[in-house]
């Protein structure tokens, strides 16, 4: 259940990306991660004042820079059902590979890409069998 000070459907933590050409980043996130746009508000000049996207059970908010708020690319870790499929889709939509999908010792298959706005996306699929392997006591 949400806290009374948190909007319904939101968690307490929500990344907020301020990037040049926010509309293009919104298109990228929708195409690559299957996000839905829950709200989009434009300034009189057509730039994005505020947009809210839902990816599964999480939200990311996006805007174009303003005089008060400059661009602030970020790094985001996201879990997906199939890291290899999402990695390929990200590259098809203009992302640059930072690390190809790899099985990690800590039980995830992960990769990393940088979108055209300079955001790093750490994409992973949790591998339950590998994460629990070797944790039992002898």
How far is residue 90 from each of residues 13, 18, 84, 106, 138, measured CA to CA in Å? 24, 20, 10, 24, 42
As for how many domains the chain has, the answer is 1
pLDDT tens profile 75-126:
999 999 999 999 999 999 999 999 999 999 999 999 999 999 999 999 999 9
Domain that holds residue 74: 16-132
Tell me whether residue 61 is in a domain: yes
**Would the pTM count as exceeding 0.95?**
no
pLDDT tens profile 20-59:
999 999 999 999 999 999 999 999 999 999 999 999 999 9
At 132 the pLDDT is 58
CATH number for the domain including 92? Answer: 3.10.180.10
Tell me whether residue 52 is in a domain: yes
Tell me whether residue 6 is in a domain: no
Tell me whether residue 66 is in a domain: yes
Tell me whether residue 39 is in a domain: yes
Tell me whether residue 10 is in a domain: no
At 138 the pLDDT is 38
Tell me whether residue 100 is in a domain: yes
Looking at per-residue confidence, does 91 or 10 come out higher? Answer: 91
Q: What one-character DSSP code corresponds to residue 18? A: E
Tell me whether residue 5 is in a domain: no
Q: Smallest Cα–Cα separation from 19: which of 52, 64, 59?
A: 64
């Amino acid at each position: 259940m949400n806290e009374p000070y948190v909007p319904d459907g939101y968690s307490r933590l929500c990344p907020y990306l301020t990037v040049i050409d926010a509309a293009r980043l919104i298109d990228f996130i929708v195409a690559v991660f299957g996000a839905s746009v829950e709200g989009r508000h434009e300034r009189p000049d057509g730039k994005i004042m505020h947009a809210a996207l839902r990816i599964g059970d999480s939200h990311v908010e996006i805007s174009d820079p303003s005089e008060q708020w400059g661009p602030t690319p970020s790094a985001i870790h996201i879990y997906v059902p199939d890291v290899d499929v999402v990695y390929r889709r990200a590259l098809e939509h203009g992302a640059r590979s930072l690390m190809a999908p790899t099985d990690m010792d800590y039980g995830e298959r992960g990769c990393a890409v940088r979108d055209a706005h300079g955001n790093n996306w750490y994409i992973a699929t949790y591998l339950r069998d590998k994460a629990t392997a070797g944790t039992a006591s002898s």
